[in-house]
Amino acid sequence: MTRIPHETSGDPNPLHALTLGHLRRRTSMKWRTYPEDVLPLWVAEMDVPLAAPIVRAVTEAMELGDTGYPVGSAYAEALAAFADKRWEWGGLAVERTAIVTDVMLGVVEMLKLVTGYGDPVVVNSPVYPPFHDFVRHMDRRVVEAPLGADARIDLDVLQDTFRRVTADRRRAAYLLCSPHNPTGTVHTADELTAVAAVAERYGVRVVADEIHAPLVVGDTRFVPYLSVPGGERGLSLMSASKAWNLAGLKAALAIAGPAAAEDLARMPEEVGHGPSHIGVLAHTAALRDGTAWLDALLAGLDANRRLLADLLAEHLPAIRYRPGEATYLAWLDCRALGLGDDPAEVFLRHGRVALNSGLPFGSGGTGHARLNLATSPEVLREAVRRMAVAVERQGER
């Protein structure tokens, strides 16, 4: 039913390691939300085996019965070393970090530190739907500053939004997605420096979700927000979960810039009780010893981006797709297909392939769908074939 995982099969690409039969034995959200005749290319889970160092760390903990509460700074130390080597950022100070349950719950805690009831939180739509959901559930007000037509931050729009939301002297925050989900855009040092200057001008506090930071391809360089001039008052959330497929092993790090240390120090001590100790061990192992696996994954994802572009050009040329520089998510503009506001619903109903609807991503999501390309080339080919069939069937109605 399965092939041997890539560490022992000779093929370094983890996206080539597992068959569909093996994957359908999984019991996580990706594989249990839809019936077995549906190809799931939606939620951010990758079709890969775990990196061997992670398996060893978790297995050793199980054998020791080491399943208590997390403690210590090993995770932060591993991330600091990774950031220094990978991004040439030596400014991640372990003493300005705190373990949190996951990135989005960490975002909530950071926003609590810098905003109050009813305060505005600015987001760049279209953006990861929990940005809208979590902010509203904590009784803050979501304010959209839509991305430009090039899928990059529109600084004029952002500045105008900051001006409006601070006109009544309320506290305000900017929830930055970096790299951006769903477009895969990697913000440049100049862009982030400009953002920091505008935020400082209007007194807006920046909280950066940088969970996709390790998933940047080629010569493109990820720039941590806290590393740019003016980013000293920022707060960041980072995690190994997306890059090493560890969503079920809960752990993340909140990081404060030098001028935000006092804010982070006000976070309640009990917040650090939520992360999984096993998760912390797994994430630490990933950052310390899983970089060779990550590099093989990045090469595989880059190949899949090119493959997806070729497949769409051949079978669905009306779909506009700009391959991103990061993440394993593809943002598909399907408006020219005439499938209505929610093309993902058509692809599911007529093609039995599950993508994310663009509608929950906010302004700019209508007529779009998000596709998870962290799968095998065989599954990707079959998914696009099914999508093309769905368009034909919809047209026959």
* Paired sense of beta strands 329-333 and 368-372, if any: antiparallel
Closest CA to 141 of 119, 162, 126, 112: 119
What are 291-349's pLDDT values in tens digits? Answer: 999 999 999 999 999 999 999 999 999 999 999 999 999 999 999 999 999 999 999 99
116: its two tokens: 């109050």
Output the pLDDT for position 188: 98
Determine the pLDDT at residue 170: 87
Does 179 sit behind a cis peptide bond, omega within 30 degrees of 0 on the bond before it? yes
Distance CA 107, CA 110 (A): 5
Alpha carbon distance, N-terminus to C-terminus of the chain: 39
Helix ranges restricted to H, 152-276: 155-165, 189-202, 261-265
Residues 162 and 199: beta-carbon distance below 8 Å: yes
With CA atoms as reference, report the closest residue to 248 among 70, 27, 19.
27
Quick one: pLDDT at residue 9? 58
Domain 6-51+291-396 indexed as CATH 3.90.1150.10: yes
Whether the CB-CB separation of 41 and 383 falls below 8 Å is answered with yes
**133 contacts: CB under 8 Å, gap ≥ 6:** none
Task: Provide the pLDDT for residue 4.
Answer: 39
Q: Is the pTM of this model over 0.85?
A: yes
Q: Which residues in the chain land under pLDDT 50?
A: 1-8
- Cα gap 194→188, rounded to integer Å: 10
At the topology level, CATH places domain 60-289 in Aspartate Aminotransferase; domain 2 (3.40.640)
Residue extents of the structural domains in the chain: 6-51+291-396, 60-289
Q: How far apart are CA 373 and CA 17, in angstroms?
A: 15
CA torsion, ordered 326, 296, 46, 287, to nearest 10 deg? -80
Tokens (6 digits) for 244: 């090493």
pLDDT of residue 161: 98
Q: Strands 353-354 and 173-177, how do they pair?
A: unpaired
